[in-house]
Chain A
């Protein structure tokens, strides 16, 4: 098991659905095989009627699960979970494009480029190695999204009593305690 698990803290109440995170991610991670792919995606869902009308925003990329289903189904061992930080990475040179990971991931994270290979968020690993923020974190205009070691994020946002998202694979996603 990882000693330190990296992941995200995301406060949907602060998210204004602007998609700066999506574009910042796209700018760093755009590649020829994925011209129209977005590793981070934001959905805005309208619900209710006045006066209970709501827009619910959700920003989501790979959750770097504690028990990633994608890694366990990957026959070519292209997918792995790093021991030092728990980041789930893909080695495209090994990927055979079988799309089993896409079937296994319940969060719809794996995407397939025109080369047939899987691609997804690596939590801006090279940024983190240089002591910089992940692009989505640095770009967030609403102070809603942060990336980093989960224990540090939990400490920073203690006043919001964050809880891990309870979901299959134990995603590394901290959310403020729902009101």
Chain B
């Protein structure tokens, strides 16, 4: 053993040497809650360079946090300001100075705004870096520029949050997942806890809570077109055709009502519109739903009976279905109705419907008040291409406004990759006069910029993550290293542009990132659970927990008889608010999208579903480590593969009228026949033949949005697959 000990001696000396110049910092995962967990990270810096990034010792983070060193060091990072020299989108740029870059940024706003008006300039919001430091600053910048067209709706979750208020009178309708420790049955409907960190504060927390509940005896049912790692840990997986979830939920209501299994006492005390709802759901029989969803009638009936009789039960409507089919907000409302008629509301072990948790939000007061934007024109985040190509923009109030966009300013957003119908967006971008993009990497969108500004990563400044969906945690992110290369933060760019335009003082261009955090918190002092959160406390404690846990909405209503925050004081199954908007007042299934029964299925017989991967937060993660370990594949059922002569590992092309993607086939039972699954996130990269070999799934999706939530509905479009 002497040899071994000798080698260890060497190792110990090495460790001692290394320890002497190591500095450790506490940061926040750059997702900053976009995913929607907020995981603190431990960052090791040696000689001004990041040498390790791993999870905080007390909290796990997901692979994306662990891969951050690979992301910071990525050779694809933008290093200095550049202007386009070739054709737009060709990817040819020339290095320029920051002075010239700021002159161009300010000059183009003045030129285009001066000639045509600022409504022709669209400022595209900053979801790639959505920390507290930029929250108020980004809207304040727009305001001091004299206003610009802004974004409404979302690429993601607004279909979930804007539906529930129509029935429950508030967005805060979702219980903390912790409550399932008291549930007998848990229905996880299109929620990928293993892949997307939803509904929790930290990565993995959802799966741990779910596996713990199951070990204690709860039965877990997962409804999902894709057999995820979440489904693997459940007692039952119910595969369903993408976009048809509303049909199944309404059929479950039909069974519960017609079998007289509803909670009469709860309905009498807390529900209005029950009779209308009862009559309305007669049309949605389990046999009808079976034909639409692909879920056998008996499975639908059995689950409905179990949900109604095994109380307390919790149904968690997730993010996949809320972005599927036509008007998935109707499904969110149908799930809310299921909870209401079974009395699964306001009690431990239950969940009302999809929404926020207890979070009341952060106020930004006058700091960045969107109302002060002098330009009223808003563009739906999913339909920027339509606004550019056709000069029309759907407004949040449902009216159509004329639009004549000429210029686009984007900070940290992947416009081409993450909105539906990437090829259409590219076509639209070519029509614009000028595009400014501040980014960390040469993304598919960055290639289309005229002015390209290199942005810092989270580790190169101070910020704070505040937006976990469960809403119980704020994580401070310390500056770990100086900005790399010639990179600057968005804040510094806006300050410089404001100075150049002569409105520096108005913008607060002398404020540093910590000042923005401090002042934004001050502006939020009227939010009760934030009253004692200060910059100093964040800097000292790094991780701060806020709010009661577990949050179970409507306990006061159910236990103490207080009114629900609706007009009637009850859960409104018949929603006058919906009727006033010209929308169905009762939860309704709308079959008007691309599915297996659609005429287009004759040409494109397969439906795609686009789940999240644990390694990708939307388009974030295109780094070497992730690309090595997470191959970009298309899951196709063996029956569909056999028909097309496709074998595992073959390169295949997936196509429809909107585009063509090439990926490797994973022939798998994880999708039912008729459905293919492709993880979203990988980068759109069309070749000269137009085939996207990067595998950006939105090459195939469309840009339809929900009529309540204004967010995209990407799941449930038709394609076909062939061997490449």
Contact = CB atoms under 8 A, between A and B. Distances in A.
A143 B215 CA distance: 13
Contact of A91 (B7, B204, B230, B239): B7
B614 to A, nearest CB: 5
Contacts of B10: 91, 93
Given A36-B628, A141-B62, A27 B54 contact: yes
Interface string B663-676: 00000111010000
B4 A89 contact: yes
A166 B96 CA distance: 64
Interface string A28-55: 1010000010100000101011110111
A53 B670 contact: yes
A27 B75 CA distance: 17
Given A18-B63, A135-B54, A142 B3 contact: no
A177 interface: no
Interface residues of A, number: 47
A93 to B, nearest CB: 8
Given A17-B229, A20-B61, A139-B55, A53 B625 contact: no
B229 A55 contact: yes
Contact of B1 (A51, A83, A90, A141): A83
Interface string A47-89: 0111101110100000000000000000001001111000001
A126 B14 CA distance: 10
Interface in A123-176: 125-126, 129, 132-133, 135, 138-143
Interface in A84-126: 89-91, 93-94, 125-126
Interface string B597-616: 00000000000000000110
A92 B670 CA distance: 43
B719 to A, nearest CB: 22
B54 A18 contact: no
B194 A23 contact: no
Contacts of B714: none
A56 to B, nearest CB: 9
Interface residues of B, number: 46
B669 A53 contact: yes
Contacts, number: 133
B207 A16 contact: yes
A82 B527 CA distance: 57
Given A55-B229, A139-B66, A77 B3 contact: yes
Contacts of B207: 16, 141-142
A138 B204 contact: no
B8 A89 contact: yes
B669 A126 contact: no
B668 A20 contact: no
A49 to B, nearest CB: 5
Contacts of A27: 52-54, 66, 69
A129 B18 CA distance: 15
Contacts of B61: 20, 139, 141
Interface string B45-77: 000000011110100111100110100000000
A18 B625 contact: no
A20 B63 contact: yes
Interface in B3-57: 3-8, 10-12, 15, 52-55, 57
B203 interface: yes
A55 B237 CA distance: 13
A142 B54 contact: no
B4 A126 contact: no
**Central interface residue in A14, A50, A139, by most chain B CB within 10 Å:** A139
A142 B227 contact: no
B211 interface: yes
B60 A20 contact: yes
A24 B1 contact: no
B233 interface: yes
B526 interface: no
7 contacts: A16-B194, A17-B194, A23-B63, A30-B69, A83-B4, A83-B5, A138-B55
Interface of A: 14, 16-20, 22-24, 26-28, 30, 36, 38, 44, 46, 48-51, 53-55, 57, 77, 80-83, 89-91, 93-94, 125-126, 129, 132-133, 135, 138-143
Given A20-B61, A138-B54, 8 more contacts: A16-B230, A16-B233, A50-B669, A53-B670, A82-B5, A94-B3, A126-B15, A140-B60
